[in-house]
Structure 1
């Protein structure tokens, strides 16, 4: 890790210390120190330096217990003991529902096949090793935080003994820490270990999700990195594709090849020449809904689909599959695909699982690099979830995916990006940024258990705030006619984004009544509890649009006017979505964008053409998802 990168990582770590503390006025258990004592006791019992044990835990779970629920990488508890056999399921999110990931209505809808289930492998079953070493059952290790810490300490001690290097100082445990990552390549193991030792050097403290105060004091360390070679891991190529110095990115290419003699039958992405051909405006955050290994198998299937990067949960290892100049089939909207980079994260949004710190840090590093490279602003108008991508046409609204889901910690992620989601420190501006406290904000979602969809999801920290039709907790949720054409209210199903906002998103204020704030949302007023003692949204600055006339069209893509298309290229219909923007309402505005269509329907990239029109659009935050309105139809102003 170069000096600049290390300083950035340490500043990010310091900036997020205490991030999960409860907001003022939110009732939580008084912080305890049982977890701190558990780390000290386990370190002494198994002969592992306490700073090493604390730092490894932080890089996986941030010392949280998560109520015994698995991470997106099938890890449990503060030490992220892995149990793929218990936690994981087959399939990927591209196989669920009816979304066409390519999202190009000029081509037949893409319908990926269901991938195989991934079998357990020893590296993903550390709970079994911990059980053998401690005599504690896997079930207890998954659910009891103190026993989980003992199990993690036992595994680290065993790895250290097997290396045969001796020594009891933190410096002597570099090899054991690298192996604990579960990484299959030297660069990936080194990245995890370097982050662990950077945490030891910087020191950390925070209050966990269950009210435990934990502290890691800064300790000077000079780890023996030569131990890495003793692990016998695969050595990745010395030169990496597209990524920052110090972050290993493995090149695992997606195939671009014909599938038949038909020139339009090919996979699994499109060649392009971005940013010369089109500006890259968005980075789309996804989760895979399958294991990392399964995702890698899928992206190498020419009949499947490709995205740009995949991030592994346990250690943050990153694989790149297509060059960023090329267009992936990932977001379900061709306009967004043509102007975005897709980053998949190993995970299961629908199961109420949590994302590891190693994943957050690695993802933030690659996204910050991409944002710097392509001049992409680090805000929620440009760094978006798949759940924020609009459908291309009305008939596709209900099919759109909703990952990475309400359990992705956007506030922490932007801290790691070096772009904290800071609201305006002044008084009311007419715009608010959604800013709930992730740890204590726990909406009562359902739908996490596929066998019992009506059951409540596990109580978990969330970035999501639910909107209601009136300023009271028992009022119905808003209706989203794209998801519920019969006009019925949205639901608390974890996948139903029809009445939901998320951390960092910006909305125009419609009204305030006491502790309740209403925002304009899908043509309606959406109310949420926002008391001054524990605000869930704060004033911010930005741009807004208002309609010049009542009921203007709202679009899912910013395509050119028909006369802009050259001969031989069929004009794409300017089909508005089923929503309209009423006069008198205000919506937060993102960038003004040109009208473009990337015509790429044949295997020969020489035939691909970017069609540009005169029409300009404004990207707006219309509901949970983004949308586009024609610049000529609105008044654009700043507040």
Structure 2
């Protein structure tokens, strides 16, 4: 786990941590240049909504943005709730234990339905709730001008079940305020916060445990060295004696549909009815263990008995949460678990939540880079494409020709003797898991060429056409390499 100071020495740019230059010659120029980098953002509707809400409720604008970014990366997710029942950019929670959504509706006079789906209304609702916490704490008009004075209000906004997690939540927000934020919204707008040093006034939370501090609990209390222990509610898992009672032969990868601190808090909530063994943070890969591996966390239905569950901070629809630090940290955890229980390090045993039989969840989703992740798990230096041309084209097809596309991939021509159809698929060999320009085409003599072209993570195709007794042209492209055949395979 990296120290908090190290995490602060970076700028968040659309979810990626970018280190700041610190060479001596730039000591005087860097602050000015850094601040200037944040003045070029477009003044779009979301930036305007933050400014308006901050002014209306007398909340520091930059603190409001930092809080929203910590919760959702400024993505309202089209009104869909998080795992803990939070809505919109400001993650207004409406669940049996938290009523921020209802409170925002009362404070703003806007219906809950509007607060769920309208970004500007949601931001106003979040500002109103944060201001209400400040009023309850007795912040004066003068104190409200100082972001440092808002720490306790921010801690309360997170709705944490314990003071320790409330501090973790508020510290993450103030870390973002210190580092600065430059984030792209789903609408293509850029919203920024310039870096600023703020020494938060923690008040009673100063006595809470700093869950980011080293040696928070003795190593014997966790199954994975380096993890921090925060116990889930005993209502959210089943005490067991694995692997004596049940063999552990699977590791299930999840995405939280929420923030790191918010997920930890949710698993502490007795009404949640869910938990996972581990939670991994996006920014630096910090790991919290919440259920002992011997016990059955409630995360994967019928696989609860046989698996260890790892939650990853973020949302399936937003790739910005899936940082390299998260992948590497989680992969090290997965490798450790696999070694201790003799679990094969392959995709049959390390699976997504969506791959659990009977699963209704889609996580980790298409933005999760399995190729990179498994490379880190296995220590392989050369990632391989998990897809084959036969798989892409379907049952009954066999490869009859192929052409290399430099080192970027291979384009394949396949034939199904039962149907008389040809199929073309381009299988990438580089930039695996990352969408890049790839294409495949098939032209039956006398017919119009059919092409599948776009930015694909693993392959282009399948392109199929009836070609019995006909000559065909076929080819494709990956990276800067292309192949185009003459008319051939006539028969």
* Deviation, structure 1 residue 152: 0.6
Q: Distance in 2 between matches of 1:430 and 1:373?
A: 20
Contact 1:205/1:214 (8 A) holds in 2: yes
* Deviation, structure 1 residue 12: 9.1
Tell me which residue corresponds to 1:58.
Answer: 69
The alignment's C-alpha RMSD in Å is: 5.7
Question: Tell me, which stretches of 5 or more residues in structure 1 are unaligned?
Answer: 20-29, 85-119, 232-237, 257-266, 301-305, 390-398, 435-466, 471-477, 481-507, 521-527, 540-639
Of residues 177, 185, 204, the one that matches 2:162 is 185
Tell me which residue corresponds to 2:354.
Answer: 387
Tell me which residue corresponds to 1:320.
Answer: 290
SS in 2 for 1:250: coil
Q: Distance in 2 between matches of 1:56 and 1:150?
A: 13
Q: Deviations over 1:268-299 (max 9, x none)?
A: 6443389xx999884533779x9957985687
* Deviation, structure 1 residue 64: 1.3
Of residues 249, 256, 267, the one that matches 2:230 is 249
**Cα distance change on mapping 1:203 and 1:273 into 2, 3 Å:** farther
Contact 1:61/1:78 (8 A) holds in 2: yes
SS in 2 for 1:284: strand
- Mapping for residues 7-46 of structure 1, pairs under 5 Å: 7-8=6-7, 13-14=12-13, 16-17=15-16, 33-46=44-57
- Mapping for residues 35-434 of structure 1, pairs under 5 Å: 35-84=46-95, 120-121=96-97, 123=98, 125-166=99-140, 167=143, 168-228=145-205, 239=217, 241-242=221-222, 247=228, 249-253=230-234, 269-272=240-243, 282-285=251-254, 292=266, 296=270, 308-309=277-278, 320-321=290-291, 323-324=292-293, 340-343=307-310, 367=330, 370-371=333-334, 374=337, 384-388=351-355, 399-401=357-359, 403-405=361-363, 407=365, 409-410=367-368, 431-432=384-385
Contact 1:387/1:402 (8 A) holds in 2: yes
Higher RCO, 1 vs 2 (CA within 8 Å, ≥6 residues apart): 1
* Deviation, structure 1 residue 11: 5.3
* Deviation, structure 1 residue 380: 7.0
Q: Distance in 2 between matches of 1:517 and 1:11?
A: 42
**Cα distance change on mapping 1:430 and 1:330 into 2, 3 Å:** closer
Contact 1:188/1:317 (8 A) holds in 2: no
Tell me which moved more, 217-226 or 359-368: 359-368
Q: Distance in 2 between matches of 1:133 and 1:82?
A: 15
**Cα distance change on mapping 1:186 and 1:280 into 2, 3 Å:** farther
Q: How many residues align?
A: 367
Contact 2:11/2:179 (8 A) holds in 1: no
Q: Distance in 1 between matches of 2:455 and 2:158?
A: 38
**Cα distance change on mapping 1:286 and 1:206 into 2, 3 Å:** closer
Tell me which residue corresponds to 2:478.
Answer: none
Q: Answer 1 or 2: which has greater helix percent.
A: 2
* Deviation, structure 1 residue 176: 0.8
2:456 paired with 1:536: yes
* Deviation, structure 1 residue 173: 1.0
Q: Deviations over 1:207-260 (max 9, x none)?
A: 2112222112211111112243799xxxxxx8484277795612545899xxxx
Q: Deviations over 1:453-504 (max 9, x none)?
A: xxxxxxxxxxxxxx9966xxxxxxx689xxxxxxxxxxxxxxxxxxxxxxxx
Contact 1:76/1:142 (8 A) holds in 2: yes
**Cα distance change on mapping 1:333 and 1:78 into 2, 3 Å:** closer
SS in 1 for 2:50: helix
Q: Distance in 2 between matches of 1:136 and 1:177?
A: 22
Tell me which residue corresponds to 1:624.
Answer: none
- Mapping for residues 492-507 of structure 1, pairs under 5 Å: none
TM-score (norm 2): 0.56
**Cα distance change on mapping 1:407 and 1:330 into 2, 3 Å:** closer
**Cα distance change on mapping 1:246 and 1:39 into 2, 3 Å:** farther
**Cα distance change on mapping 1:134 and 1:298 into 2, 3 Å:** closer
Q: Distance in 2 between matches of 1:308 and 1:331?
A: 11
SS in 2 for 1:155: helix
Q: Distance in 1 between matches of 2:324 and 2:155?
A: 16
Q: Deviations over 1:387-410 (max 9, x none)?
A: 345xxxxxxxxx442534365742
Question: Tell me, which stretches of 5 or more residues in structure 2 are unaligned?
Answer: 19-40, 209-215, 258-262, 397-408, 415-423, 429-435, 441-452, 460-491
Contact 1:285/1:384 (8 A) holds in 2: no
SS in 2 for 1:221: coil
Q: Distance in 2 between matches of 1:154 and 1:202?
A: 25
Q: Distance in 1 between matches of 2:125 and 2:201?
A: 24
Contact 1:250/1:318 (8 A) holds in 2: no
